[in-house]
Structure 1
Amino acid sequence: MAKRRPSGDGMVRRREDGRWEGRIVIGHKESGAPIFRYVSAKTQKELLKKLHQSMEEYRDVDLSENSKLPLGQWLDRWLEEYAAPSVRPSTLEGYRGYVERNIKLHLGDKPVGKLTREDVRRLYRELQKNGRQEYHPEYGYKLSGGTIRRIHGVLHQAMDAAVRENLIAWNPTEGITLPKKKTAPKQILNDAQLERFMEIIQADSVWHDFFYTELTTGLRQGEICGLLWSDFDETHGTLSVRRTLHVQKGGVLVTGETKTGTGKRTITLPPSTAQLLAQRKKQSYSQWIFPNPLRPEQPANPNTVYSHLKTLLKKAGLPSIRFHDLRHTFATHALASGVDAKTLSGILGHTQASFTLDTYTHVTGDMQKRASEIVGGFLEHIMVR
């Protein structure tokens, strides 16, 4: 058997056409045969420069023959073996969407070992211009910077795994300049709008309790839809958030873990909400606190909830806010009413109180202004003595 050639070992020759060609060993097949990388140049000096760059690039690297695997096949494998065991079902579905609609469509046939940084840059430029498969009245076929960043996050993770699997020597998504993320301003219902919304839901016998509970707890959409009666402690007036509900492709409902570790939490309900749920429990014949109105053996569908919210807002003549903006509304009014950030962070299931403050700086700024006026008045009182 021939001696196994070490990675980085190379050779140089002049071809019949006058150009210079070199190759280095970058890995080995299962049989032990070397895998080569070839470079060429017009002159020997230019070739040696390229060859030395390649040697540095592949130093201490021993790629497998799977480096010729098409990127699309590697991404499918990465989704099943790496992503699926570690992320929530809804997150995995999002990853699949980015892989199928955006990455594989443009680079799926490219050998994973030949994917370059320029390939990645070209992909992102194309997605920014023509990334949408359907025309959007506001954005046309363009994808937002935020969406490009999420696609990049998926591809970056997959390529990191490819490095660990010895499919590539380095991650080609490193060092890519990404488009800026334009965050849409948070919308909340002000005092007058909130009062109007409460009037509208008061007349809705089916959905009143759901939206009243949401506005007094700030639960995430999947969290409130996934509540069971076993989560409600009537004696102590508390609610335990233990799961979240996701809608998968095809409308299948799946329960999963909360968004973060601190998402599992027990919150003390306002007396009015605790009383409302206690009364509701007496009349309930479902295990779900908020069941599907037509199929009470099933939980409320988040998609149905969202659609009904839009109907209520339109009926009330209010801005067409997102469901998550009800959570913002709760948090904003809580902070403005004097609830401290640490307590609010625990209610919302945020990992850190600093995140709560960063998220709602528009409120804390007003609070700081009022605080400065109080301190100013206090100092003026001292000075006039």
Structure 2
Amino acid sequence: MKVYAGVDPISGKRHYLTETIPPGRTAAKEAEKARTRLLAQVDERRNPRTRANVDQLLDRWLEVVEIDATTRMGYVSKLSKHVRPVLGKLPVGRLDPETLESFYATLRRCRDRCNGKAYLQHRVEGEHNYTAKCRPHVCKPLSASTVRQIHWILSGALNRAVRWRWIAVNPAAQAVKPAPPHPDPQPPRPADAARILNEAWRDPDWGALIWLAMTTGARRGELCALRWHHVDLAAGVLTLRRSAYLDENGELQEKDTKTHQQRRVALDPETIEVLRELQARYLARIAELDLPAEDDAYVFSPEADNSRSSPWKWCNG
């Protein structure tokens, strides 16, 4: 039984709902029931409007969704590594809560989605001599927090699919996601923090960065984007306005802070003194180069004039 259901918005072809009726004495009656049921789905707009697969939905969703640049990079990475290889070719209309929950369970057993059988995991593609890097596979589960992130990414894309009438309901809304992990922060003990600072202070600029991270709680990217006009040493206030990040090409870029809001942080006397010494080194350096001091110069920079944000590991961890 085949019922016309409109034009597929992805392929532009005529889209049909189909159902196969087994032969027998009641085949005609069952076919009429199927026809009535399919027509009702079309009339009530409960039918999938497209045969598009999950890959096509994700591509379309990433085109229109408005998200932060670093968030987008994280989404693309998780989708490419975990979702597309398993669910990418599955038609969106066939995605159901059972499939999603089975997918989540697989990731929680092994992030490489192995079938439980022992095998040798190669680190080099193609023909090669076995090396120390070719080791037996050991299952490593994906963390519950990462699986939850994957769930919310899929849920967002499927919500758009419902809005676009590609599907009638969002299967992710009915799927059970992993429970959120219990917060368990483990900051370094005072003695450990002091030891870290002592080691870092072999390079005074690096030590100043570690000190500022410990005393202000600022994120790495926020410290990398910090400029001298954001620092008011007289008032003892630090303003966090921007954040630095590495894009998909490895180029350093700037964006809003993670919360899209600026923050003002009060500085203690010791931190003010650390920043005064850092600024004095900067001023002495540009004086030797006969360069002017710029208000928009970065606080931490690999350049002598602090004209460029630090591309070191500070921004990307």
What TM-score range do you get, normalising by the shorter chain? Answer: 0.7 to 0.9
Counterpart CA distance in 1 for 2:201 and 2:264 is 27
1:61 aligns with 2:42: no
Q: Deviation digits for residues 35-58 of structure 1, max 9, x if unmatched?
A: 324254686788788778767766
1:131 aligns with 2:111: yes
Q: Counterpart of 1:94?
A: 74
Q: How does 1:255-334 map to 2 (within 5 A)?
A: 255-261=254-260, 263-284=261-282, 285=286, 287-292=297-302, 296-301=306-311, 303-304=313-314
1:225 aligns with 2:206: no
Partner SS, residue 265 of structure 2: strand
**Contact 1:26/1:37 (8 A) holds in 2:** no
Q: Deviation digits for residues 78-128 of structure 1, max 9, x if unmatched?
A: 11211xxx2221110110012111111112122223323333233223323
1:110 aligns with 2:59: no
Counterpart CA distance in 1 for 2:35 and 2:6 is 16
Q: Counterpart of 2:234?
A: 235
Scaled by the length of structure 2, the TM-score of the pair is 0.73
Q: Counterpart of 1:70?
A: 53
Shift in alpha-carbon separation, 1:114–1:237, aligned structure 2, 3 A: same
**Contact 2:246/2:315 (8 A) holds in 1:** no
Q: Deviation digits for residues 321-379 of structure 1, max 9, x if unmatched?
A: xxxxxxxxxxxxxxxxxxxxxxxxxxxxxxxxxxxxxxxxxxxxxxxxxxxxxxxxxxx
Counterpart CA distance in 2 for 1:149 and 1:142 is 13
Shift in alpha-carbon separation, 1:29–1:151, aligned structure 2, 3 A: closer
2:17 to 36, 41, 45: 36
**Contact 2:231/2:237 (8 A) holds in 1:** yes
Q: Counterpart of 2:189?
A: 190
Counterpart CA distance in 1 for 2:75 and 2:97 is 21
Counterpart CA distance in 1 for 2:33 and 2:103 is 29
Q: Paired residues, what number?
A: 281
Shift in alpha-carbon separation, 1:160–1:306, aligned structure 2, 3 A: closer
Counterpart CA distance in 1 for 2:8 and 2:273 is 69
Shift in alpha-carbon separation, 1:71–1:131, aligned structure 2, 3 A: same
Shift in alpha-carbon separation, 1:280–1:113, aligned structure 2, 3 A: same
**Contact 2:145/2:180 (8 A) holds in 1:** yes
Q: Counterpart of 1:205?
A: 204
Counterpart CA distance in 2 for 1:99 and 1:270 is 44
Matched residues, percent identical?
Answer: 25
Partner SS, residue 171 of structure 2: coil
Q: Counterpart of 1:180?
A: 179
Partner SS, residue 179 of structure 1: coil
Q: Deviation digits for residues 262-282 of structure 1, max 9, x if unmatched?
A: x41122211222232233223
2:63 to 80, 104, 107: 80
Scaled by the length of structure 1, the TM-score of the pair is 0.62
**Contact 1:247/1:254 (8 A) holds in 2:** yes
Higher helix share: 1
Counterpart CA distance in 1 for 2:181 and 2:33 is 43
Partner SS, residue 98 of structure 2: helix
Counterpart CA distance in 2 for 1:208 and 1:46 is 78
Shift in alpha-carbon separation, 1:125–1:215, aligned structure 2, 3 A: closer
Counterpart CA distance in 2 for 1:137 and 1:230 is 54
**Contact 2:205/2:300 (8 A) holds in 1:** no
**Contact 2:221/2:315 (8 A) holds in 1:** no
Cα deviation, residue 27, structure 1: 4.2
- C-alpha RMSD over aligned residues: 3.6
Q: Deviation digits for residues 118-152 of structure 1, max 9, x if unmatched?
A: 33233223323332388999973421222111111
Shift in alpha-carbon separation, 1:256–1:52, aligned structure 2, 3 A: farther
Partner SS, residue 258 of structure 2: coil
- Segments of structure 2 that go 5 or more residues without pairing to the other structure are 114-120, 124-134, 287-293
Counterpart CA distance in 2 for 1:59 and 1:130 is 43
Counterpart CA distance in 1 for 2:233 and 2:51 is 61
Counterpart CA distance in 2 for 1:173 and 1:108 is 15
Q: Counterpart of 2:130?
A: none
Shift in alpha-carbon separation, 1:105–1:282, aligned structure 2, 3 A: same
Cα deviation, residue 200, structure 1: 3.1
Counterpart CA distance in 2 for 1:243 and 1:101 is 30
Partner SS, residue 105 of structure 1: helix
